[in-house]
């Protein structure tokens, strides 16, 4: 029952930190590296299909439907073990990773794919009032917050109060902000339309605030314009060129031009930027690596940290330059390809082959979904919007999710929802979000009664 | 947008507390009562299909798959509104319900179906170490606890430690305890069998402790014996006639005969008895009603509280006697039929008809599922076990769940799992259960990184 494998020490120890797109892909690509002893370490026991997290937040999918247990995915990969733990520190010269619980693990090669976390641009107190969409817990907290707002509006005792509960502000009009805004509009306009007696959910205001001068800034300008049109058609109000100055329980204070303004809203969601996490900062400090403003670590053409050819960084934590000299974006594709590249380099080294050539990111295209049959896509320079882009989005996501057992479920669920506008996973659970709600005592509280 | 309906006051106000089997059924049965103005109040925004909650706890289903949003279910029922709130007190003479947030609601007829909560028989400190299976939150906490135990066993540094993590005690061998034990055995024997490198999940010990002298005490004796045989075949150790004296982080202390014993186990689950909740106790006190040891309120043959013909109690809170003079059990069927009866009585009164005859419980049978193709059933005196009973169980549950949109999903998911032994919803999320885990700091902690 209890046997530490003997002889493992003779093999090349590969440690992979983080089971996201980059780490999981790297792990799987090492499957046939018989000379390697692979350990995947993650603080969670599952891989999360993050691009669909907004569907959990908006009640379309359950967390279990967009997550795959890492052990399950890798159970047949005999040279690999999965370990639940969180990397806290690293000794790059002694080649050891230190976990938060004190455990130490020596490596011969290390692939770091610990990702990014939400950045509130130094205003961490905003987090309390404006959750972001990074983890399953945050997604369910957002779901709670959205549904709870309609419940409170229904019970409001004045028009003003009801209006504040029915005003939703989303900060940031990148892909995540657009997805959230579109889904929220659909909830208000369709899903809940018959559910209340004192309010009309269709009168909910959804305000999308963007600091720049266009939505979907990472897309070409014509697609930004299309995207804005599509989201506006759903009733979302887009406000560009604003700078958020404060967020609290009652709304958002922002600057538009030189004017300071105030938008009352009981629900604010954060779809702003990202920054590195604590381990990323430790790693940068210990390796004296160069970082950018967001804390990303500058890696070489082979994705290793300068001076440390045994440490690869892939995904959001890596600052890696594309052909055009611009940093590669923090998207799943970059992480997946980076993970595969790092694994291949390690395999080549083990087989005594010359190092592979420099990492080359092959951009398959960019996609952002806005609502039912509404999306924008930039595929090899071909600009699509509306239904065609949405069909591409659907196809791409179904293909990727095919990796998981949940593909059938997601497909059935989407089909059902598409036809009926209903959303199955509309549960208000837990109390994760209630802290940030200005709520009457114990209304909607959790417990085992009732 | 904001309009309290005028003229409603002229209608007969029916308030229903609790959207479980009893309350939801009563609400739906009042659909065509045009003279009634119905308000369903629940602290949660969803109806929970409680009989399948153990499948959430054991990672087969996601919470969203066994829950239906109350507003969605009732959106087309025009005489009905749903209200998120928790009943805290009642003024039975003034005919008003007082919510925890201070809101007061007057009624002409009241149906109380607030259910029961877990009883630790006065040892509420055990709750911390031995969660029970009553709410979605508890189910996910149990899931967390079970999966986390295997993770800790994998990382254990001694055989003794690994063994403690791989020992699971379930207290109570009623239907819930049997279901949990069977599902847990399947997880250990099948689902996780290839997932670990240092432990063999099949060597997990699952101990089912029962105070009485047989499992499934509410079933006929021959079915108890069959049930015990079925669960033993899965590797579950059944210990009868034991009295739990203490539960802590390291295990269970119990008495067997006159002997005091100790069972080390890092994971203890509680499948013991139930008692009424706070509102039930308030209601009993305010109406000076008779209660039994478990706090259930004795109701008349028409399910009303003696002296208060306008207050119906249905489901777990009611102490209602069957034909045989024995109290009706706290099962879904009793609640459903009670809710329908109360609704019908109110409709009859509104139509000026004579009161319906006394409530008669029609027992369609008892079912308990133990594992794949293993169950026991007592249907109209016909005793089934094994595969036939399991097929009945499957059929009955699919039929009931047909009410919900999730029927297709559950069906697909079950089919998939039956064929593959996999479990899709194997997520360790939140921190609900971590308090009760004797865990290394921050291992498996939650957050947005990684």
Q: Which of A406, A432, A443 sits opposite B84 (nearest CB)?
A: A443
> Of B43, B199, B422, which is closest to A72 when you measure between CB atoms?
B422
The secondary structure of residue A188, as a DSSP letter, is I
Predicted confidence band of residue B273 (pLDDT cuts 50, 70, 90)? confident
Q: What is the mean pLDDT of residues B328-334?
A: 92
B424 confidence band (pLDDT: 50, 70, 90): low
Nearest-CA neighbor of A362 among A380, A384, A339, A344? A380
More confident residue, A164 or B449: A164
Judged against a pLDDT cut of 70, whether residue A299 lies above it is answered with: yes
- The per-residue pLDDT for B402 is 61
Nearest to B441 among A100, A199, A430 (CB): A100
Q: Which residues of chain B does A432 touch, with a Cβ-Cβ cutoff of 8 Å?
A: 430
Q: pTM of the full predicted structure?
A: 0.84
Cβ of B450 within 8 Å of Cβ of A42? The answer is: yes
**pLDDT tens-digit map of A365-389:** 899 999 888 999 999 889 999 999 9
Does the structure show a pLDDT above 90 at A397?
no
- Span of A61-70, B96-105, B260-269, B371-380 with lowest mean pLDDT: A61-70
3-class DSSP state for residue B351? coil
Judging contacts by C-beta atoms under 8 Å, the chain B residues touching residue A195 are 69, 71-72, 75, 82
The pLDDT assigned to B7 comes to: 45
Token code pair at residue A229 = 């049109």
The model's confidence at residue B447, banded by pLDDT at 50, 70 and 90, is very low
Q: What is the pLDDT of residue A196?
A: 94
Confidence check: pLDDT of A32 > 60: yes
- Mean pLDDT confidence for A222-237: 96
Q: What is the predicted pLDDT for the residue at A220?
A: 94
* Interchain CB contact of B98 with A (< 8 Å): no
Helices within B136-244 (DSSP H only)? 136-155, 159-165, 175-186, 221-233
Q: Which residues pair with B246 in a beta bridge?
A: B253
Q: What is the pLDDT of residues B30-76, one digit of tens each?
A: 999 999 999 999 999 999 988 889 988 988 888 887 888 899 889 88
Contact flag B198-A4 (C-beta cutoff 8 Å): yes
Could you tell me what percentage of chain B is helix, strand and coil, using 3-state DSSP and rounding each to the nearest 5? 35, 25, 40
Q: CB-based contact (8 Å) between B426 and chain A?
A: yes
Question: Which of 140-169 (A) contact B at CB < 8 A?
Answer: 147-148, 151, 154-156, 158-159, 162-163, 166
pLDDT of residue B418: 62
Q: Is A179 one of the annotated active-site residues of the chain?
A: yes
Minimal-distance CA residue of chain A relative to B448? A135
Instruction: Looking at mean pLDDT, say which of B228-232, B320-324, B418-422 comes out highest.
Output: B228-232
- Whether B409 and A427 lie within 8 Å, measured CB to CB: no
Residues 72-91 of chain B whose Cβ lies under 8 A from any Cβ of chain A: 72, 75-76, 81-86, 88
Contact A86 B159 (CB under 8 A): no
B39: phi then psi, degrees, rounded to nearest 5: -125, 120
- Cβ pair B321, B302 in contact under 8 A: no
Q: Which residue of B has its CA nearest to A315?
A: B450
Q: CB-based contact (8 Å) between A46 and chain B? A: yes
The answer to whether ipTM exceeds 0.95 is no
Spatial contact of B184 and B206, defined as CB atoms under 8 Å apart = yes
Instruction: State how far the Cα of A129 lies from the Cα of A433, in Å rounded to an integer.
Output: 9
Give me the count of residues in chain B. Answer: 450
Cβ contacts of A104 on chain B, cutoff 8 Å: none
Chain B CB contacts of A158 under 8 Å are 2
CA atoms of B88 and B100, how far apart (whole Å): 5
Residue of B nearest to A204 (CA): B1
**Percentage above 70 pLDDT, chain B:** 86
What is the rounded distance in angstroms from the CA atom of residue A171 to the CA atom of residue A132?
10
Q: Encode pLDDT of A162-204 as tens digits.
A: 999 999 999 999 999 999 999 999 999 988 988 999 999 999 9
Question: Which tens digit of pLDDT belongs to each residue from B181-208?
Answer: 999 999 999 889 889 999 999 999 999 9
Asked if pLDDT for residue B450 goes beyond 50, the answer is: no
Mean pLDDT of A105-134: 95
B45 touches chain A (CB under 8 A): yes
Q: Indicate the residue of A151, A442, A449 with minimum beta-carbon distance to B117.
A: A449
pLDDT surpassing 70 at residue A396: yes
pLDDT value at position B434?
Answer: 31
pLDDT surpassing 70 at residue B301: yes
* Residue B421 confidence class, pLDDT cut points 50, 70, 90: low
pLDDT value at residue A6: 46
Overall average pLDDT of the B385-393 stretch: 91
Interface contact A409-B406, CB threshold 8 A = no
Catalytic residue among A138, A179, A210, A417: A179
How confident is residue B271, by pLDDT bands cut at 50, 70 and 90? very high
**Mind telling me how many Å the CA of B67 is from chain A's nearest CA?**
8
Nearest to B42 among A84, A416, A450 (CB): A450
* pLDDT on residue A439: 33
| CA-to-CA dists, residue B295 to A53, B17, B104, B161, B284, angstroms | 44, 18, 25, 41, 8
In the block, residue with structure tokens 């034909």: B323
pLDDT at B69: 86
């Amino acid at each position: 029952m209890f046997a530490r494998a003997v002889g493992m020490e003779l093999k090349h120890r590969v440690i992979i930190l983080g089971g996201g797109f980059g780490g999981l892909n790297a792990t799987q690509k090492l499957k046939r590296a018989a000379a390697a002893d692979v350990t995947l370490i993650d603080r969670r026991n599952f891989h999360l299909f993050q691009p669909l997290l907004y569907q959990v937040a908006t009640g379309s999918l359950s967390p279990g439907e967009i997550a795959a247990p890492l052990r399950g995915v890798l159970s047949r990969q005999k040279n690999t073990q999965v370990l639940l733990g969180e990397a806290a520190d690293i000794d790059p010269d002694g080649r050891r990773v230190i976990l938060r619980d004190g455990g130490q693990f020596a490596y011969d090669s290390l692939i770091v794919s610990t990702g990014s976390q939400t950045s509130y641009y130094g205003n961490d107190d905003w987090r309390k009032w404006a959750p972001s969409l990074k983890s399953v817990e945050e997604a369910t907290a957002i779901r709670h917050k959205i549904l709870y707002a309609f419940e409170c509006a229904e019970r409001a005792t004045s028009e003003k109060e009801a209006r504040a509960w029915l005003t939703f502000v989303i900060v940031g009009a990148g892909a995540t902000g657009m997805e959230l805004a579109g889904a929220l509009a659909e909830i208000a306009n369709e899903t809940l339309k018959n559910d209340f007696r004192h309010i009309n959910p269709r009168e909910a205001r959804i305000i999308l605030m963007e600091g720049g001068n266009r939505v979907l800034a990472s897309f070409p300008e014509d697609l930004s314009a299309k995207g804005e049109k599509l989201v506006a058609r759903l009733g979302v109000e887009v406000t560009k060129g604003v700078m958020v100055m404060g967020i609290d329980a009652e709304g958002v204070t922002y600057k538009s031009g030189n004017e300071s303004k105030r938008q009352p809203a009981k629900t604010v969601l954060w779809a702003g930027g990202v920054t590195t996490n604590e381990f990323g900062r430790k790693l940068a400090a210990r390796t004296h690596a160069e970082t950018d403003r967001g804390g990303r670590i500058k890696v070489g053409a082979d994705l290793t940290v300068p001076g440390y050819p045994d440490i690869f960084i892939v995904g959001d934590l890596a600052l890696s330059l594309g052909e055009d000299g611009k940093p590669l974006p923090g998207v799943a594709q970059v992480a997946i390809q980076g993970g595969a590249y790092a694994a291949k380099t390690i395999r080549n080294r083990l087989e005594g082959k010359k190092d592979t050539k420099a990492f080359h990111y092959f951009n398959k295209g960019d996609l952002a979904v806005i609502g039912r049959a509404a999306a924008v896509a930039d595929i090899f320079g071909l600009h699509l919007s509306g239904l065609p882009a949405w069909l591409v989005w659907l196809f791409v996501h179904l293909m990727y999710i095919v990796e998981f057992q949940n593909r059938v479920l997601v497909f059935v669920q989407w089909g059902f929802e598409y036809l009926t506008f209903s959303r199955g996973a509309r549960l208000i659970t837990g109390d994760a979000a209630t802290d940030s709600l200005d709520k009457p005592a114990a209304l909607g509280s959790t417990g085992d009664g009732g």
